[in-house]
């Protein structure tokens, strides 16, 4: 008997919350799946589930090894997928992306990708936290800006402009704003970035440390404050383009607009040949920039 036998059954029961549900996920019988779990527990000399007539719950041991077992099974599926003749995306694709970009652009693209490949499941985690891809078992991250040398593979899939904007009503009564230095006389609306970026007439990068009485770590919160006339903001273009088109905001310091920031697809080296990763990166590289540019 293989020492690995029973891991599929263990994960299926934990996922479904019952032996019958786990059996249904695997297309087998409750009797068989129960027998396999008893054998696995005997080999481990530990109980994985607390069973009653009404419920099945993971024991402390079961909870401790569940994520590891899921990663083992995912790695197995990845290996099999990488050597299939068809090279079709399959298995589970775990992706992390910042919240707003993920909601607006990445989620629709990956949803289409999943619909095109019925053997693929997608988990998209939208968070502004920098995730440890290897340690937390992710296949792919979408990140922006300059990337440190982390040993991860990166592919540029797009770019984004940073625009400095304010409401016309604010500018009517505000001091002049014709140079970056004059920002010190203005109410700046602060987001998660500690510095704002610009470039001078020679194309050299400039930085300005903004200050003001409004700070929000969510871009929409900064955008709404700018539209309300509270001050000047600097945000990625996908936040402000609708407000610019409706004239709720106008761009300021356009002559000092910084170079566009790259958008990267980042993934561990061992996953870069997997069809599911290769296919997702190709889709993002082909369609993400166009999606961001749309009205």
- Alpha-carbon distance values, 130 to 98, 127, 147 (Å): 9, 8, 12
Is the separation of the CB atoms in 262 and 145 below 8 Å? Answer: yes
> Quick check: 271 pLDDT over 90?
no
Is the separation of the CB atoms in 283 and 113 below 8 Å? Answer: yes
Nearest to 147 by CA among 264, 65, 284: 264
For residue 33, what are the contacts with CB-CB under 8 A and spacing of at least 6? 9, 12, 13, 19, 22, 23, 26
Residue 245 has a pLDDT of: 93
* Tens digits of residue pLDDT in 93-118: 999 998 888 998 999 999 999 999 99
> Quick check: 85 pLDDT over 50?
no
pLDDT-derived band of residue 73, with 50, 70 and 90 as boundaries?
confident
Topology match between the domains 7-73 and 91-159+261-293: no
For residue 246, what are the contacts with CB-CB under 8 A and spacing of at least 6? none
Q: Which CATH superfamily is domain 91-159+261-293 in?
A: Periplasmic binding protein-like II (3.40.190.10)
Residues in the chain: 295
pTM over 0.85: no
Q: Whole-angstrom distance between the N-terminal and C-terminal Cα of the chain?
A: 59
Residue 84 has a pLDDT of: 56
How much is the average pLDDT of 203-222?
A: 91
How much is the average pLDDT of 72-100?
A: 76
Q: What are the domain boundaries of the chain?
A: 7-73, 91-159+261-293, 162-256
Residue 86 has a pLDDT of: 56
The CATH number of the domain covering residues in 162-256: 3.40.190.290
CATH topology of domain 7-73: Arc Repressor Mutant, subunit A (1.10.10)
> Quick check: 235 pLDDT over 70?
yes
Query: What's the whole-number average pLDDT of the chain?
Result: 87
Tell me, what DSSP letter sits at residue 114?
Answer: H
Neighbouring C-alpha atoms within 13 Å toward the C-beta of 76: 10
């Amino acid at each position: 008997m293989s020492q690995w036998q029973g891991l599929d059954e263990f994960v299926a029961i934990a996922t479904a919350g019952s032996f019958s549900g786990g059996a249904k996920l695997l297309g087998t019988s409750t009797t068989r799946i129960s027998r396999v779990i008893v054998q696995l527990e005997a080999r481990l000399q530990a109980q994985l589930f607390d069973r009653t007539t009404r419920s099945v719950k993971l024991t402390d041991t079961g909870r401790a090894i569940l994520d590891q077992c899921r990663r083992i099974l995912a790695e197995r599926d990845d290996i099999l997928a990488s050597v299939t003749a068809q090279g079709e995306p399959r298995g589970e694709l775990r992706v992390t992306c910042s919240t707003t970009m993920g909601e607006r652009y990445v989620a629709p693209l990956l949803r289409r990708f999943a619909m095109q490949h019925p053997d693929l499941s997608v988990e998209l985690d939208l968070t502004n936290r920098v995730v440890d891809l290897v340690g937390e078992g992710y296949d792919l991250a979408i990140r922006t800006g300059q990337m440190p040398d982390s040993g991860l593979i990166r592919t540029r899939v797009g770019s984004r402009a940073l625009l400095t904007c304010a409401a016309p009503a604010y500018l009517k009564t505000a001091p002049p704003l014709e140079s970056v230095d004059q920002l010190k006389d203005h109410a700046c609306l602060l987001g998660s970035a500690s510095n704002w970026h610009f470039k001078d007439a020679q194309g050299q990068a400039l930085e300005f440390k903004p200050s003001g009485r409004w700070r929000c770590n969510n871009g929409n919160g900064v955008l709404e404050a700018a539209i309300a006339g509270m001050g000047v903001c600097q945000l990625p273009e996908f936040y402000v383009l609708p407000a610019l088109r409706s004239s709720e905001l106008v761009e300021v310091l356009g002559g000092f607009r910084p170079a566009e920031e790259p958008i990267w697809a980042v993934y561990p080296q061992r996953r870069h040949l997997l069809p599911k990763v290769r296919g997702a990166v190709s889709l993002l590289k082909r369609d993400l920039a166009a999606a961001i540019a749309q009205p």
